[in-house]
Every structure is written in structure tokens, then in C-alpha cells.
Structure 1
Amino acid sequence: MEINYQSNFKLNKTEKKFLRKQIKARHTLLRHEGIEAVSYGTQSLVVANGGLGNGVSRKQLLLVLEKCGCVEALLMPPNKPYSFVRYKTIEESKNAYASLNGKEIVDDLGQKVILYLNFVEKAQWKKLGLQALPPGLTVVEEIVSSEDENMLLEIINWAEDIDNQNFQKSLKHRRVKHFGYEFYYENNNVDKDKPLPEGLPDICDSFLEKWLAEGYIKHKPDQLTVNQYEPGQGIPAHVDTHSAFEDEIISLSLGSEVVMDFKHPDGVTVQVMLPRRSLLVMRGESRYLWTHGITPRKFDTVQASEPYKSGIITSDIGDLTLSKRGIRTSFTFRKVRHTPCTCSYSLVCDSQRKETPPSLPGSDKEASQLEQEYVHRVYEEIAGHFSSTRHTPWPHVVDFLKALPDGSIVADIGCGNGKYLGINKELYMIGCDHSKNLVDICRKRQFQAFVCDALGVPVRSGSCDACISIAVIHHFATPERRVAALQEIVRLLRPGGKALIYVWAMEQEYNNKKSKYLRGNIISQREKEEIKNDKSTQALLEQMFNTGSQNSASSVTSIDDIQKKESSSKKLTNSELPVHTSRTSFHSQDVLVPWHLKTKTCKNKPVETFDSGGSHDPSLVFHRYYHVFRDGELEATCQTLSKINILQSYYDQGNWCVILQKV
């Protein structure tokens, strides 16, 4: 494509739109994945939208890439929406850049995707390295024959009447039947005094007796749950209730293979392939501590060069592709427990939590100490990384600030990195936070902010037209301290002044929709300005629309392998609070939420994380205290305050929110 450019490039509407998207892809990869593009030709390219994570298989992408030259390597990180390609020569790489940038292809789901390419010096990705199966987990392949598989599938009549004693149910994510005992999803338990009259299907007895004799299982189950999964369906990450079932849980996979995700509370995730006709056995730590679940998707990432085998999906990104899911039916056998669980994992055991409740502070002094250890100290340590993940303002907060009259004095209590302090230039905004390091970040961004405790803000009473408190109140460890923090906000307001309060919600699935909290992937206006003013845009324009005219030299690149260290957690001293598993439902209102710290690496050293362009030291796991609010709890807490009216209350992406006014 020829383009006429002078001091300013003159592009048509289509070219401008394409350029914006191409540069946006480049900035997104840098910000979220730590992948830095260069403005000159190299042998290696990063291909945005051409990855396993958005339905593009290895075979499909290779067919496109090989039309431009000899491909030496195609690296496709698991579950990522991009890949890396290395050509034999720089000229071939430039040819691919010119020919494929903006090319529309159809992925394996039949959906159209547009490829955006950028040159890179070297590929950078988070390599999992060699991992072991979770302790206590085994997978036995070909546990039944094809004939046995068909026989087992035939005994499940999904069309039979729903009044049948086996309680056929149709759940949102799958079809399910229960035998022996009905499983109640509302409390994740069974009624041990009400066994189903028909028990387990007779055909199952012969298989269970055989597995017992061969040593694959240790106990004969008395409860069976049969799930049928269509492609695209899954099951949320969970741990089978300790008090409901004995240690051993076994699951037979029929009809299709699937990848199951196992996750440790400290954040370590292991993806395990469950082949068709295989038996999964969970005991000990894998049963009691690790969550297991199936991500809803129509394709799984698998090894490309050999038949699917059980075990871990490795991080050999030069040998991964997609496997299309079929209809899978799982037979999950469990033995109902009739005595309290006495496992070694008391922090996550519902039987033992009843006898030893979480260690909540019994006094204001203890609450202050807990907050100092699990809130204030943590934010000082993680301030830089935390700030790098807080770049997109919440739309409803922006609406609140932009609706205020020009010239209003507004206080942001717990302002963090100050992302709301510059939203409305017509306001006089000040921020405060307990973290000195976060306040320093605010000052570097030319915002007015100071260090203080939210229970005692050194600002004159009645001096603010409005206040905001976003994700702060839930860090106070007692009801009294939460009320006191709200009362301090009300004190700052003039009569008629308004305050907006956000707290984490216990209900992370609301109105049949899952929260997308902390999962935004939107380029902010500030970042758009950075793109607009990017000094390398001219070089990108020249390459994109006039590739081949450059003769710049470039060095030979290589693709680094990066080993990930074994993950471990900082010891939780003086606390019996449960540690929450990220991206799962809350099972307790008072929890410790892990934060896995990413740290910056030196220039020219490898990057092994995608979050904010830093490297992940797995030993640096910090835990933040949260009191997550139930539906109606924030309103009820605000109603204990004097001289306020609640103007509005709502749910916003995993948060309960109120707007109150001082009277």
C-alpha cells in the first residue's frame, strides 16, 4: 500500500481506524502482558488475536503464516489471545507484517478475527515449567472399555419424567442426576437421613468392586452424581464439602476428554487432561484443599504432537494446539460422611470451622492490629504493582463525579493511586490514603493527596461538597469501625453534601450474571493520549503502509525459555481467618484475599509475567483482610448513621454501592 505523508500523515478513514487498532493492540500487549514491540524489522513477530485463547489453532495459523515465508518457530502460550512467530529471514518477517496486518481469518469456532502484528526483539511469556499433579491426585486411563462406556451412557435416560426419585435436574451450566442421595446445590450438601430408595444403578456395582480389588479406590461409594456437559459448558471451581463426603472422590469421564483446572489457595494452577474413559481419583490435599473446576469453553489447549494423555498440560508453547470438546458425561462417586471431618486443613474445613470459628478481633485494639498486619502493611508492600492494575475508573463513579456542580470540593477517602482525582477538572479534589507509597504515586501524578487514617481525616467538618470511598470500608475489621469510618465521611460533608460508597459484595454472581470485577481490559483516555503522542508512531506508519522501503539493520533474535519457581505462601501468623481462593465465590464474610506480587525486572532481562510488565516472585504472596458485604448490609450500616438519607443503592460488578446525603 502506498501512502503520501508529509509532516503529518494523511490517512483515509479506513487506514486511521486500522492504525488505531494496531497501536492499541501493541499498547495492550505491553501493559497487560509485558510484551514490548519495536519499530524496526526483526525475525520475530507477536500476532495479536492469533492465539489459542481466542480460538485459533496451531494448524490454522500456520497455514496463514507459511504463505509469507519459512516459519522457524510458532509459539502459542496456553489460553492467551496472541502468539509469536519467527521467520528464517527478516525479509520474510517484513513480508508477513505487510501482508497479514489487518488480515481477517475465521477461527475454529467459525467467528471472524483480525490479526494485528508487531515486531519484537524476543518472545516473552510466563512459562509454567515442570509441575506435579496436586498431592493425592491420580488419573487412570482406559479404566473402562468402549462397550462398557456405551452401556453406562445408555442407563442415563435424560428424557424421563422429572418426578422420578433420581431427581433429574437441569442446571444453568449442565444436566445432572443424583443416585443414592440427592445433592442440594443451595448448601452443597446432602440430607444424610433421606437416601434415595433405588440407590446406585446396579451396573455400577461391578465396576466399583473391580476398582476396589485392583486398588484404584479404597472405599465403596454410596452416592453418585451424573453430569452431562455440552461443548461450552463447565462447572465453577469448588471443593466438595468436607462435612458431606469422605476423603476419596472419584470421577469417570465418558464421551469426550476435557481439561480440568486445579487451583491451590496460594494461586498455583495446574491444568490436568482427563481423557475419555479415564478415572480421576482425589484424596488428601487434592480433595480437601485444591479447588477443581471446568472452564466453560468449546476448545481445550492440548499437546499437538502426540495422542492426548492424562496428566498436566505442559508449557511447551511450541507444541500446543486446540482440541474441540464433545458431549462429556461424568460419573462422580462419593461416600457420604456420617461423622465430622477431622482433616488437616482446618482453615477450609466446614466441620472444624463450626468448632473453631475464624479468629475475628474481640476488641478495637485487636482489630487495629489485624488491619495493620493485613491491610496497611500489605498495601505499602504492593503499592507499585497494585497501582499498575488500577487504571480504568468505574463508570458509575465517573458519572457521580461528573454530575457534581463545577467548583465542588470533593474528598476521596482511601484514594489509592488517585485514579479518580483527575476525572473532573472542574472539581477541587483532594485524596487521602493510609499508604504512604500510594500517596507518593498520587503526588508524582500531580494530584493533591496526603497520608492519614480514614477514621481520623484532618479536614474541617462540613467543608466538603462530596466524598467518595471506593473499596475502603470493607477493610475495617469490626462493625463498629466500619460505622466509625462512614461517620467520619458524613462529618466531612456540608449539609446537602453527597457521598458515594463502594464495598465488595459477597454475591459475586447476581441476577444470573457473574461479576467482572478487576477484569476490565479497556484502554483509558489517558492511555489513548499516550498512544496519540507516541514518538514511534511515525516509524510504525512507515512500516505499516510502506513496508519494504526501509533498510534498517536488525539483530538476530532468540526466544527465551523461562523457568517458574515453585510457589509458596508467606506464613499467616496470628490468624485463623479463611484464605479466599481468587475468582471463586465467597464462603465467608471475613476472609484473607491473596495478592501475588509482580516485580519489575531490569532492562534487557527476561520478563516472566504478563501483569504490568513485571516478573512474578511466587514467594511474595500477601494477604489482605476483607469483610465482604451481604445484600442489604451496607444500607443497614448506613442507616445507623445520624443526619443522612440514602438516595440510591445498587449493585455494580461485584460491589454493593450507596449514595447518601447529609441532612
Structure 2
Amino acid sequence: MDASAENVKLVRKTKEEKKLLRKQIKASHTLLKHEGINTVTQPTQHLVVANGGLGNGVCREQLLEVLAGVGTVIYLLMPPNKPYAFVTYQSSDYSQRAHALLNGQQLQCQGQGQVVTLYLSFVERVGCEQQESAALPPGLLVLEDYVSQEEEARLLQAVDWATHDNETVHKALKHRRVKHYGYEFRYDNNNVDKDKPLTTGIPPVCDPVLQRCLKDGHIEVLPDQLTVNQYESGQGIPPHIDTHSAFEDTILSLSLGAKTVMDFRHPDGRSVAVVLPERSLLVMKGESRFLWTHGITPRKFDMVPAYESEGPVAVTSDPSNLTLSRRGTRTSFTFRRVRRAPCDCSYPTVCDSQCPPAPPVPSAPSLPQDDGDASRLEEQFVHQVYEEIASHFSSTRHSPWPRVRDFLLALPAGALVADVGCGNGKYLGINQEVMSVGCDRSSSLVQICGERGLQAFVSDALEVPLRGDTCDACISIAVIHHFSTQERRLAAVKELVRLLKPGGRALIYVWAMEQEYNKQKSKYLKDSKDKENMQPATDEGEHPVKQSPPPNSGVTTNASTDGAPRLSVHTNRTAFNSQDLLVPWHLKGGEKDTCKRAGSPSADAAPTPAGAPVFHRYYHVFQKGELEALCSLVEDVEIRTSYHDQGNWCVILEKLLK
């Protein structure tokens, strides 16, 4: 090789090293702002590993193998859902070697096909926020290895998914396959027809397990209904409560074939993630059966304890004992006893036997099965509704949220800000030193902005007619929860990011399923004589509501006769029990809004006047961590902060420099 070629190679290497250095500086700068992690230049025993976290698909075993390859690791801390980890080496010599050899190393996440690049920086000490471990819901038991491998094989073999007969009921739902034995659970009325048992009862192969449950005291009488659900990797079931009027207290559920994590949530916002190991038995009684929702988040990997512990397996926030577990095909056998009398439990707010029926919705829609369904649903139950209620809606929108105001006031003079889904434009004039422009799908709301001298135009949030890389900031306040599929919600976030300049930031607010969180209540839960303050923080005026009757074991909504889930109407001033719902809006005075402009639900709890028009808007309320998970799917962004603000989940994103 001649001298000129050698020089070219040297120059190229120098450029690559400088590029790597810039990335390291950027990562350090990001971590400095992200949850107060301070990096240092002098070598220590401790390093923070950017991109090497559970939040971006790196499991503990894989990262530990890489880190231990250069020296003895004392501690490895992986905070829940975060894209970084902390490592402590036995000596600073080892940490310096890791800093020199592993910076810029690429790592392929196991089973995900995703490649991440590790960036290491020194820190003075290792640490991360650790929340207290939540106790299991009262009445909940998880019994590991309740059936043997031989029993598991016999049970799975007894379910013939290929045969469709009249003796059992076989349904292929969107997110799983289902078979019913003994009695069919009917998704059109969230109940069972108690006078029409199926020809085939619970298969005899289940008898040894049920007799064992009877002997062990988990049940007092044998069940007479069985629902078998089969989940492929990535499938799940929304949060729900098994219908009170359909089944008695105790519910048993076997997990066969693979383990999973089931999320339990209390109406006050408390949540517990519980590992259900393969061949384990889940027992739900009392409060855990009647009051707490349970569901399985659709994903291919679960965050689980890395090391076995004694007692029930609840996922804790201990960063020294967390890893990722790939899901397999799981089949659940859920046994229940059909109820023959109305439920008289101690939880009337979620009991369909004790609650009044939900207000009817003519032609209640099904959950969308494709993008066309989603567009039609949103047109009828979002766009048309806002056109009808626009002026009433605007009359309730006066006071800006403090943290949104703070975000806008912190922007530099001359910045360009886009408010995507601006409504009546109440945020467009907050900071007089920036250039603000708004857009909204409702032409009536945009007209109100024009009457106020504000700059706004009609546009869908999925396709904003502004050039990309032009905005210093974007805000999306109470908009994305109106999109009815995960794909459309993701597209809305991507559109915000497209508008931003590199280094620009976006603030996103969506309704939270957890209306109480860390002792913080949304305003609708507080007593007040001020109607404005009585309205919840979620959409700056609406009443968060819950499903009535409560959701069932199959889906969190009603369903059509073919098993397709239907949306349910919710009632005011009670906790959410499902994520996809229709929220009623009552116009004042009993007459239609003649200006066809958007309005608000009644701010107080008074009965709806006779003849008052009622409109229903579609919402997808977000669970804890769901908004961050959605945003993490967008390339070239960093979540600067996330928080719960009186009934909303909120994030601030920054578009990264390229």
C-alpha cells in the first residue's frame, strides 16, 4: 500500500473518530438533561451505557456478556423502560478499558432484529429512581407449577382448534383465538345465556386439576364454564373486569405453553405487573376479581425479574433484577361458575347488577379492523361531533394548562410554533414573542380562531401542509387519543416530528386511564363549586367516565354478533375501566348548537335536560408508559421528559441532530 492510500485511510479513521466523539458528546448531553444524570470526564468505576437499556430492547444477559468481556462487573442496573443502564466495575482500570473498547460498539437486540450502538460515559456514582414494590391485589394468588408438563400436554392436546362444531363455540377474534365450553360467553351482551348450555361441558381432561383446586380450598364448587384463549407472540387483551352478573366470585386461570405478564390496575391508578409462569394457576377472588382490571399488553417482549425469588412473581422496579423475556404462544384455560342470581358484591360502582345501564348509542360502532374502518369511525365520532358542538366546546376553553403555558413561554423570541389540533386557539396567543400557527380538523373551530385574530387553518393532524424541519416547537394537546388505531396514533406523532427542526421539541398531552396517580387527582375527582375546576384535566373540560356495565373477560367493550368488539358508552365522574370508548357530550339548554361549533359536556353532575342532544366522541385512553412506548417507535427523537398532569399522560420529545 503506497503512502497516499495510507494517508487517506488515516484521514478516514480520524473523521470516524471525530464523528464518534460527537455522538458521545451528544449522548452525554442527552443524559445530562434526561432525569438529571450527570456525566463526568475523569475516569471512575461507574459508567452509564446509553442505548443499552430495557427500553430499547437490550436484555440484561446480553448486555452483561458484553460488559463482562472487558473486566469484572460488580453491579448492573437497568431501570424499567429506560434506554440506558448503569454498570460498576471492580476497578477504574476495567471501566476505562470498557470506555475505550465498547464506545460505538453495535449490539443486535436478541430476537428483535434491531441494532443499537452503545455509548459509554463516566459517572460519579450509579443510581436510578426505584419505586416501592406494589403488593398483589387482595384476593390474588399465583401458584407456580400447578400442573405437570404431562398434564399441560394433555390439556393443550384436548383443544382442537381445527374443528368447528356445534358442541363448542370457536371464535377467531382480532387478537386471539377463543373456544367456549359449558356456556358460550356472548360478546353482544357481555354475558352468558344461562338457559342455553352448550352440548359439551368442560372437557374431562380438566377434572384432575379442578379436583385439586377443590381440595386445596381455591374453590368451593366446581366451575361449569371454560374459556380457552390462545395468544400468539405480540397478542394481548385490553384491561377488563369479568362481568359481575355473568359469573360468581372465584375465577381460575391456567397459563400453558408460555409465560406472560398480566397487568392489574385499581381505579385509583395503582398498578401491579404480575408474571404468570408457564403451568401456573392464577386465582382471583374478592377485590382482585370484582374491582381491579386485568389485561395483557400486546408486545413480543415482557420486562420480568432476571432472578427467581420466593413467593408470587410480581414485576418490581428493582433495576438490579430486571431483564426482557420473549413471549411464546400461550394458551389460557379460564374456569368460572355461572351466576344464577344478581351480584351483590361490595363494589357497586363497577357492578352491572347494581349500576344503571349505560346510555344507548344508536348503531354503536365496532372497533376498527383496518385503516378504512378507523377513518370512518373518526369521521362520525370525532370530526362530525366537533362540528356540531363547536361553539359550546369553545365556551368551556378559557384557562390554559400551567405546564403547557410554561413550555410555550420558555421558547426563544422569534421561534415558530405549530399547534396541531388547536381547537379554539387558546394556546396560540400565550407567548407574544413567538410566531404561532394552528390547525384543526374542525372548520368551525378554525373559524373561531379567525374571529379572534389568530392564525389557523383546516388540516388533518396526519398530514399537515407545512414544510418539514421548519418548526422550533409543536404542541398536540388532547388530540392523539382521538385516533382509533395504534398505527394512526403513531403516524400522528411522526407528523409532529416531521415538522420539527433538528433540536426542536414537541409537547404531547393525552387522556390517562389512571385518573389518580401518585396521589395526584384529576380535577373531576375533586369537590368544587367552580364549574371550570370541576372539569377533568384530561381534555381540559371533559368528564372521564367508566364503562357500565363493566367490561368482560373477552373484551373491554360490547361486541357484534360475529364477535367483533363494539365500543361502550361511559358514565361521568367514575374511573375508566376500558381504553377504547365513547364519551357523551350534552349540549346545554336542550337545543342543537345552531352555529355547529364544538361544545363541552355538562360541567356539573346535574341530570341531562329532557330533549338535550347527546353526542358521542371516540377516545383511546392511554395507560401508564403507553405514550412513551409509542414515541419510542419514532426514529431520531429523544424523550426529554414524561409526566402525569392531573389526568393526562404527557411527554416532551426532541428531534435529534443528524
TM-score by length of 2: 0.61
Return the match for 1:93 from 92, 95, 98: 95
Query: Is 1:145 matched up with 2:148?
Result: yes
CA shift digits 1:257-316 (9 cap, x unpaired): 222221223332212122222211112221222221223333333333437863312333
- Between the aligned partners of 1:627 and 1:386, the Cα distance in structure 2 is 30
Contact 2:143–2:281 under 8 Å retained in 1: yes
Secondary structure of the 2:354 match is helix
Contact 1:192–1:336 under 8 Å retained in 2: yes
Aligned match of 1:182: 184
Contact 2:358–2:571 under 8 Å retained in 1: no
Return the match for 1:510 from 484, 491, 498: 484
Return the match for 1:223 from 221, 225, 230: 225
CA shift digits 1:538-584 (9 cap, x unpaired): xxxxxxxxxxxxxxxxxxxxxxxxxxxx9546564479966569xx9
Q: 1:388 to 1:188 in 2, by over 3 A?
A: farther
- Between the aligned partners of 1:173 and 1:87, the Cα distance in structure 2 is 44
Percent identity of paired positions between Structure 1 and Structure 2: 46
Q: Which amino acid in 2 is paired with 1:123?
A: V
Contact 1:505–1:654 under 8 Å retained in 2: no
Q: 1:203 to 1:89 in 2, by over 3 A?
A: closer
Q: 1:414 to 1:350 in 2, by over 3 A?
A: farther
Higher relative contact order (CA 8 A, sep 6+): 1
- Between the aligned partners of 2:357 and 2:301, the Cα distance in structure 1 is 44
> What pairs up with 1:415-494 in 2 under 5 angstroms?
415=427, 430-431=429-430, 442=431, 446-447=433-434, 468=439, 489=449, 491-492=451-452
Q: Which amino acid in 1 is paired with 2:354?
A: Q
Give the drift of 1:526.
6.5
Secondary structure of the 1:280 match is strand
Secondary structure of the 1:177 match is strand
Aligned match of 1:335: 337
Q: 1:511 to 1:255 in 2, by over 3 A?
A: closer
Return the match for 1:325 from 327, 352, 368: 327
Return the match for 1:115 from 115, 118, 122: 118
Give the drift of 1:629.
5.7
- Between the aligned partners of 2:410 and 2:276, the Cα distance in structure 1 is 34
- Between the aligned partners of 1:344 and 1:356, the Cα distance in structure 2 is 20
CA shift digits 1:65-120 (9 cap, x unpaired): 12333322111223433211112333432332232122112222152222122333
Aligned match of 1:539: none
Contact 1:275–1:310 under 8 Å retained in 2: no
Secondary structure of the 1:153 match is helix
Secondary structure of the 2:355 match is helix
Secondary structure of the 1:168 match is strand
Q: 1:400 to 1:385 in 2, by over 3 A?
A: closer
Aligned match of 2:77: 75
Q: 1:321 to 1:492 in 2, by over 3 A?
A: closer
CA shift digits 1:597-642 (9 cap, x unpaired): xxxxxxxxxxxxxxxxxxxxxxxxxxxxx996689x9xxx998426
Contact 1:35–1:123 under 8 Å retained in 2: no
- Between the aligned partners of 1:525 and 1:516, the Cα distance in structure 2 is 16
Aligned match of 1:134: 137
Aligned match of 1:460: none
Q: Which amino acid in 2 is paired with 1:256?
A: A
Return the match for 2:275 from 269, 273, 276: 273
- Between the aligned partners of 2:297 and 2:411, the Cα distance in structure 1 is 26
Query: Is 1:413 matched up with 2:387?
Result: no
Contact 2:421–2:479 under 8 Å retained in 1: no
Secondary structure of the 1:413 match is coil
Q: 1:378 to 1:497 in 2, by over 3 A?
A: closer
Contact 2:400–2:426 under 8 Å retained in 1: no
Give the drift of 1:168.
1.9
Aligned match of 1:293: 295
Aligned match of 1:46: 48
> What pairs up with 1:632-651 in 2 under 5 angstroms?
640-641=594-595
Secondary structure of the 2:99 match is helix
Give the drift of 1:252.
0.9
Aligned match of 2:162: 159
- Between the aligned partners of 2:341 and 2:446, the Cα distance in structure 1 is 44
- Between the aligned partners of 1:389 and 1:225, the Cα distance in structure 2 is 54
CA shift digits 1:118-137 (9 cap, x unpaired): 33333343313233111121
- Between the aligned partners of 1:55 and 1:220, the Cα distance in structure 2 is 43
Contact 1:302–1:308 under 8 Å retained in 2: no
Q: Which amino acid in 1 is paired with 2:103?
A: N
Q: Which amino acid in 1 is paired with 2:255?
A: S
Aligned match of 1:528: 503
Contact 2:417–2:435 under 8 Å retained in 1: no
Greater CA drift, 301-310 or 254-263 = 301-310
Contact 2:259–2:276 under 8 Å retained in 1: yes
Q: Which amino acid in 1 is paired with 2:129?
A: K
- Between the aligned partners of 1:341 and 1:170, the Cα distance in structure 2 is 30
> What pairs up with 1:240-255 in 2 under 5 angstroms?
240-255=242-257
- Between the aligned partners of 1:247 and 1:390, the Cα distance in structure 2 is 55
- Between the aligned partners of 1:291 and 1:399, the Cα distance in structure 2 is 33
Contact 1:75–1:84 under 8 Å retained in 2: yes
Contact 2:545–2:571 under 8 Å retained in 1: no
Aligned match of 2:86: 84
Contact 2:421–2:439 under 8 Å retained in 1: no
Give the drift of 1:518.
9.7
- Between the aligned partners of 1:375 and 1:589, the Cα distance in structure 2 is 22
Contact 1:590–1:628 under 8 Å retained in 2: no
Residue segments in structure 1 that go unaligned for 5+ positions in a row: 1-8, 359-370, 402-410, 416-420, 422-429, 432-441, 450-465, 474-482, 531-565, 596-625, 645-650, 656-663
Aligned match of 1:425: none
Q: Which amino acid in 2 is paired with 1:115?
A: L
Q: 1:49 to 1:498 in 2, by over 3 A?
A: closer
Secondary structure of the 2:58 match is coil
Aligned match of 2:105: 103
- Between the aligned partners of 2:22 and 2:498, the Cα distance in structure 1 is 12
Greater CA drift, 16-25 or 497-506 = 497-506
CA shift digits 1:474-514 (9 cap, x unpaired): xxxxxxxxx9x8885574479x9855698958986736747
Secondary structure of the 1:336 match is coil
Give the drift of 1:332.
0.8
Number of equivalences:
493
> What pairs up with 1:562-573 in 2 under 5 angstroms?
567-568=518-519, 570=521, 572-573=526-527
Q: 1:11 to 1:266 in 2, by over 3 A?
A: farther
Aligned match of 1:610: none
- Between the aligned partners of 1:468 and 1:116, the Cα distance in structure 2 is 39
Contact 1:48–1:117 under 8 Å retained in 2: yes
Q: 1:214 to 1:529 in 2, by over 3 A?
A: closer
Q: 1:283 to 1:185 in 2, by over 3 A?
A: same
Q: 1:489 to 1:519 in 2, by over 3 A?
A: closer
Give the CA RMSD over aligned residues: 5.3
CA shift digits 1:387-431 (9 cap, x unpaired): 89999xxx9966899xxxxxxxxx96221xxxxx5xxxxxxxx34
Aligned match of 1:612: none
- Between the aligned partners of 1:208 and 1:299, the Cα distance in structure 2 is 31
Secondary structure of the 1:218 match is coil
Aligned match of 2:214: 212
